[in-house]
Chain A
Amino acid sequence: MNRLSLIDLLWLVIRRDMLLAMRRRADVLTTLIFFVMVASLFPLGVGPEADMLRKMAGGVLWVAALLASMLSLPRMFSADHVDGTLEQIMLAPQSLTVMVLGKIVAHWMLSGLPLVLIAPVLGLQFDMSAAAIWTLMLALLLGTPVLSMIGAVGAALTLGLRGGGVLVSLLVLPLTIPVLIFGTGAVEAVNSGLDAVSNLALLGAFLLFALVFSPFVAAQALRISME
C-alpha cells in the first residue's frame, strides 16, 4: 500500500464530504434559506426606512451569517459519528489533524461559501452601496472560514451529547465576537468613507491563527469525545 501524502489525504476527505453533501442537498439549502430568512426579518422588525437599513446592513448580515453557521455546526461530525465512520477515521494511521482540516474546509464550502455568494443579493435588499457590498463579501470570505474553524472545536467537544445543538452555540458564539466586530467594522469603515483594509487585515490574521491551531485543537477534542 502506498502512503498517502497529506495533500492527497486532505483532498480525499474534502471530496468525500462534498459527495455526501451533494447526495443530500437539502441540508445545504436549509442553512442558506435560514440566512436569507433571518436577514429578511430585520426590515420587517425595524421598519423599511432605507437610511436605517443601509446603516445596519453590515451588522445584520453578519449576525445572520453567524447564526446560520451555528445551525450547520452540529452536522460537521455527527453523521460520521452515528454510523461509525468517525471511529474508523480515528483508527487510521493518517494524521487526524489533517482529516479534521479537510472536514472543516468541506463544511465551509457547504455552509460558509454559499453565504458569501448570496450576500450581495441581501445587500441590495438593504440598499447597500456597491463598494460596501464588495467589502462585505470580502469580509465574509475571510471571516466565515474562521467561524467554521472555531465551530469545529465546539462541534467536536459536544459530539453525541443531548441538546448538543444549542450547547455548541453557547460555547462557540462568545469566541466568535472578534470576527463579528471586525467583519462589521470593515463594512462600517467603507460606509463612513474610510479604508477597510485594517479590518480586513485583522480578519486575515484571525484566519491564519485559526488555520494553524483549530484543526489540531479540534482533533484533540474529538479524541476526548471518542475515547
Chain B
Amino acid sequence: MAINWFKYSAPSTFYGLAGKLIPFFVWPAVVLFGIGFYIGFFVAPTDAVQSEAYRIIFIHVPASILSMFIYLIMAGYAALGLIFKTRLSAMMASALAPTGALFAFISLWTGALWGKPMWGAWWVWDARLTSELILLFLYLGFIALQASIEDPRRADRASALLAIVGSVNVPIIYYSVQWWNTLHQGSTIKFSGTSMHIAMQQSMFIMLVACWLYAIAIALSRVRSIILERESNTQWVRELVELKGERV
C-alpha cells in the first residue's frame, strides 16, 4: 500500500493523526518511567564513591541529552518550514521549544542538586554546566521572540531564522566555553565511573527512552493545540466532532 506522506503535512490531516498517535507514546512512556524508576531506586546498587546521591543521574543525564537533541530537531523543523514554507514544520518547532527549555532547566536543576553533596557547591563554572545554561538562554530567546510577534507567519519565520543561527552557533559556543574553562582552571570535576553497573546502565537507558517518548507525546499534543489556535476560523475546525457544542 502506498502511503502519501505529504498528506500529513497539512495541519488539518495531521491534527487527527497526532491525536491517534499520542496514546502510543504516552502509555509506553508511563510504563518505562515506572520501570526506570524501579530499577533506579531499588535494583541499582549503591555507588561506592557517591553513595545514594548518584541516583539523580537517572533523570539528569536523559534530561541533558534531550535538551540538546530537541534544539537540533527544533532547528531542523524550523529550517524545513523556512525552506518549503510548510506551516506544520514551524508549528512543530514552536511545539518543541517549551519541552526543550524544560529539559534544559531540569538538567541544570538536578545538576545543582547533585553538585551540592558531590562537589560542595550548587554551581561551578564547568564547561558543560555553562553551555547547558547558554542553551537554556537560546531556548528562552526563541520563545520570547515568538511570543512578541503577533503575526503568526512572521513569528514562525523570524524564530526559525533565529533557531538556525543558534544551531550554527551552538558548536562554536560549546568549544569556546570548553577552552575558556581550561584556560581558567583545570577540569577538576569528572565523573570517574570506571565502569557502570549493568543495572545503572539499564535504568539510565530506559529513562532516556521514556523521556524521548514523553517529549514526542507532549510535542504532539502541544502541536494539536497550536493547530486549533491557528486554524480556529477554518471550516474543518468548526466541523470537528470533539469540539461540537463548544465555541471555538
> Interface residues, chain A, CB within 8 Å of chain B?
153, 157-158, 161-164, 167, 170-171, 173-175, 177-178, 181-182, 185, 188, 206, 213, 217, 220-221, 224-225, 227
The 5 tightest CB contacts between A and B, nearest first, are: A178-B176, A174-B137, A181-B180, A224-B157, A171-B141
What separation, in Å, do the CA atoms of A177 and B165 have in the docked complex? 14
CB contacts (< 8 Å) of A171 on chain B: these are 141, 144-145, 162
* Chain A residues with CB under 8 A of B168: 213
**Given contact pairs A161-B148, A221-B161, A227-B154, A170 touches B141 in the complex (Cβ within 8 A):** yes
Per DSSP, are chain A's interface residues mostly helix, strand or loop, or mixed?
helix
B172 within 8 A of A: yes
Bound-complex Cα distance A162 to B147 (A): 11
Q: Is the CB of B183 within 8 A of A167?
A: no
What's the nearest-Cβ distance from chain A to residue B156, in Å? 9
Number of interface residues of B (CB under 8 A): 25
Additional A-B contacts beyond A167-B144, A173-B137, A175-B166 (7; CB < 8 A): A157-B162, A158-B145, A161-B149, A171-B162, A177-B134, A185-B179, A221-B161
What residues make up the interface of B, taking CB atoms closer than 8 Å to A?
134, 137-138, 140-141, 144-145, 148-149, 154, 157-158, 161-162, 165-166, 168-169, 172-173, 176-177, 179-180, 183
> A36 CA to B173 CA in the complex, in Å?
28
Chain B nearest CB from A115 CB (Å) reads: 21
Which of A185, A217, A227 lies in contact with B161, CB distance below 8 A? A217
Residue of A with least CB distance to B174: A178
26 pairs, A vs B, C-beta closer than 8 Å: A153-B161, A153-B165, A157-B158, A157-B161, A157-B162, A158-B148, A163-B148, A167-B145, A170-B137, A171-B144, A171-B162, A174-B137, A175-B165, A175-B166, A175-B169, A175-B173, A178-B173, A181-B179, A181-B180, A185-B179, A185-B180, A188-B183, A217-B161, A224-B157, A225-B154, A227-B154
